[in-house]
């Protein structure tokens, strides 16, 4: 049991010692560094190509280094920066100071690492000085062929030429440039400052113009704002005045509501009174129609019909008398003619066939002609006597009763008389009769007298009578020139 424990302890101790020894001889390269192994057996094809140096380069992995036989050193692969401040003379002969910064590192390939290890493995801190000197020379050379304007406006071209001209040297050193930036170009003579003054003046002028424009716009905006404020204040006052006017109007209406209501009631009373007066006027007109106008129209119609009937009777009577006389005369003439013909035929029948018959016939024809003429004369005489009797009867009636004849003539022309009297009221729209039926009767009487038709007819008849009395008589017949109106 004890032996076993000692065996296990010995094994564990051996493993521990082995691990410690392995940790001491095993070297691992970090990601930003390269292990340079030199000594026994430390040779590689790459390093042989790089100046036939006898060392091995390890990156990104571990390697066993035999203590006492081999040596392992580390070469940093991280980025370094070097600040440059170089005094140069331009193509124009102007002295300038160029400030720049170079960011560089050891190349990642084995050739670059080998070249860098040869030159900087023991003095890695002197890399910045080497870079400064290298780039200062190239920068002076390139700036000497450029003008200040080209340097200022084409800085990328300047840095590109510097990197291109130093590429060979950097490759031999095993270094690569990550970035080269021209930070500043200083001019002791003030050339750059004067070069920028025109543009600065233009910019300053543009700035002042812009500032003036902004001030003007600000002033205009302030004026517009003040005007809008004044307009808003005005509108507010106008609205307040309008509201106050409405309030005053409402108060005035409230104060006037009592008198206004009284006036309205009074207007209604006046309207009702006016309506009542209109109804009374309509009633009076209806009474006038029923009590005065219609009875007057009926009386006038009765008078006109009576006069027309009387006239028609007298005319029919006169026509009947004339017709009777004419028929009587015609009958007498026919009777005479018939008797004459019968007598002639009797004479002709009783006469001889000789000269006696001829003479009898001639005498009979002569007697017949004479009888016919006498009959025509008698008929004409009877007709003339009948007309003379009618005219005489009228004249006698006119002499005996002039008023009746005038009344007859007035009755015959009564429609025209009424139409002439009514013409006086043709242009009257409204007529108010103040004293009822008496006023209407008086109004119609005046209208009829204004027509003058009846008076004119009566005057004509009287003048005809006077003319008849002064005229001579012929054959016992007295002509009376009467201007009898004809009925339309």
pLDDT in tens, 473-484: 444 444 444 344
Strands 95-106 and 62-64: unpaired
Cβ contacts of 311 within 8 Å, gap of 6 or more: 408, 411, 412
pLDDT tens-digit series, residues 254-264: 777 777 777 77
* 154-168, 370-384, 450-464, range with the lowest pLDDT: 450-464
The token pair at 165 is 């001209």
Whole-number percent of the chain with pLDDT over 90: 3
- Indicate if the pLDDT at residue 150 is higher than 50: yes
Q: What is the pTM of this model?
A: 0.38
Question: What is residue 314's three-state secondary structure?
Answer: helix
Average model confidence (pLDDT) for the chain?
A: 76
Q: What CA–CA distance (Å, rounded) separates 422 from 242?
A: 65
Question: What is residue 62's three-state secondary structure?
Answer: strand
Confidence of residue 195 (pLDDT cuts 50, 70, 90): confident
* 15-19, 176-180, 278-282, 319-323, range with the lowest pLDDT: 15-19
> What pLDDT score does 50 carry?
43
Higher pLDDT, 326 or 219: 219
Cβ contacts of 453 within 8 Å, gap of 6 or more: 413, 416, 417, 420
Confidence of residue 103 (pLDDT cuts 50, 70, 90): very high
- Indicate if the pLDDT at residue 48 is higher than 50: no
Which residues are registered as beta bridge partners of 176?
A: 105
Q: Which residue has the tokens 């007066």?
A: 277
- Indicate if the pLDDT at residue 101 is higher than 90: yes
């Amino acid at each position: 049991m004890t032996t076993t424990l000692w065996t296990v302890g010995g094994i564990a101790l051996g493993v521990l010692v082995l691990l410690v020894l392995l940790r001491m001889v095993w070297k691992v390269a970090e990601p930003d560094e390269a292990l340079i192994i030199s000594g026994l057996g430390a040779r590689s094809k790459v390093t042989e190509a790089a100046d036939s140096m006898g060392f091995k380069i390890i990156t990104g992995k571990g390697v066993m280094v035999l203590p006492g036989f081999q040596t392992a050193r580390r070469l940093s692969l991280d980025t370094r920066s070097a600040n440059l401040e170089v005094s140069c003379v331009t193509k124009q002969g102007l002295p300038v100071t160029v400030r720049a910064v170079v960011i560089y590192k050891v190349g990642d390939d084995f050739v670059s690492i080998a070249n860098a290890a040869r030159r900087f493995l023991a003095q890695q801190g002197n890399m910045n000085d080497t870079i400064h000197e290298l780039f200062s020379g190239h920068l002076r050379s390139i700036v000497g062929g450029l003008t200040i304007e080209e340097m200022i406006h084409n800085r990328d071209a300047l840095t590109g030429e510097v990197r291109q001209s130093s590429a060979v040297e950097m490759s031999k050193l095993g270094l690569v440039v990550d970035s080269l930036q021209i930070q500043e170009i200083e001019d002791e003579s003030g050339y750059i400052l004067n070069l920028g003054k025109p543009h600065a003046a233009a910019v300053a002028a543009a700035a002042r113009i812009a500032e003036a424009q902004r001030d003007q716009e600000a002033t205009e905006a302030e004026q517009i704002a003040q005007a809008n404020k004044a307009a808003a204040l005005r509108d507010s006052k106008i609205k307040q005045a309008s509201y106050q006017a409405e309030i005053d109007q409402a108060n005035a209406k409230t104060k006037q509501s009592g008198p206004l209501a009284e006036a309205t009631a009074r207007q209604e009373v006046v309207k009702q009174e006016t309506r009542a007066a209109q109804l009374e006027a309509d009633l009076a007109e209806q009474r006038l129609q029923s009590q005065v106008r219609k009875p007057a129209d009926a009386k006038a119609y009765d008078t006109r019909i009576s006069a027309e009937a009387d006239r028609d009777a007298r005319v029919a009577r006169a026509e009947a008398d004339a017709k009777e006389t004419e028929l009587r005369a015609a009958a007498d003439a026919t009777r005479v003619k018939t008797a004459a013909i019968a007598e002639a035929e009797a004479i002709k029948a009783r006469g001889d066939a000789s000269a006696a018959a001829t003479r009898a016939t001639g005498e009979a024809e002569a007697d017949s002609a004479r009888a016919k003429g006498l009959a025509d004369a008698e008929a004409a005489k009877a007709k003339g006597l009948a007309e003379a009797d009618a005219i005489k009867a009228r004249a006698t009636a006119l002499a005996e009763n002039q008023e009746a004849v005038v009344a007859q003539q007035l009755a015959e022309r009564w429609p025209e008389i009424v139409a002439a009297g009514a013409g006086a009221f043709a242009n009257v729209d409204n007529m108010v009769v103040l004293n009822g039926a008496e006023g209407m009767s008086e109004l119609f009487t005046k209208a009829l007298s204004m027509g003058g038709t009846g008076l004119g007819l009566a005057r004509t008849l009287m003048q005809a009578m006077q003319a008849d009395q002064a005229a001579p008589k012929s054959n016992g017949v007295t002509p009376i020139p009467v201007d009898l109106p004809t009925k339309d």
